[in-house]
Structure 1
Amino acid sequence: MDSRYEIQRRRGGGGISGGSAGGSPALTGAQSRRRKMPPRPADFKLQIIIIGSRGVGKTSLMERFTDDTFCEACKSTVGVDFKIKTVELRGKKIRLQI
């Protein structure tokens, strides 16, 4: 496995140093990808599990909180439903996995 890595590394290194015109677009692309700032990571991550009898509104409660929607004639959820919502509280980002 290490020997394959060494071969790939040598090939990649030869291509970049072999020609400045061929190497500069690749570097420019890599640099531009690095410049894009990802969203600030959450300060806290919480996982919430909602359990209860069928037909009591667990999915409706989750959808109302995450998407601010309500469906009066929703079909029964089969299996597991999963939503993510990020909230900010007192200047801290909290990522909720419901």
Structure 2
Amino acid sequence: MENSEKLVFTSEDGEEIEFYVLEETKINGRNYLLVADDNEGEEANAMILADVSEPEAAEAVYEPVEDEEQLAALSKVFTELADDLDIELE
């Protein structure tokens, strides 16, 4: 995953957090990102983020997916996409 795009997100408290975008998809008109805090280690922390911004917004706003059912469904989608990338999701 050496060529993953690196993005800087700003948390609600103003802290800048860097994530590597491992994969992205669009479902029902909403964009989702699979991101990790490391793109080389086996123990990277990963999460799925949903674009919750308004369609006309200048910048995208992403929030972690926390709904268990939605997270399970998205994990299946990203697992299928990740098969081509040699990523293991748990």
Q: Calculate the TM-score normalised by the size of structure 2.
A: 0.23
- Greater strand content: 2
Q: If you compute each CA radius of gyration, which structure gives the higher value, 1 or 2?
A: 1
- Greater helix content: 1
Q: Calculate the TM-score normalised by the size of structure 1.
A: 0.21
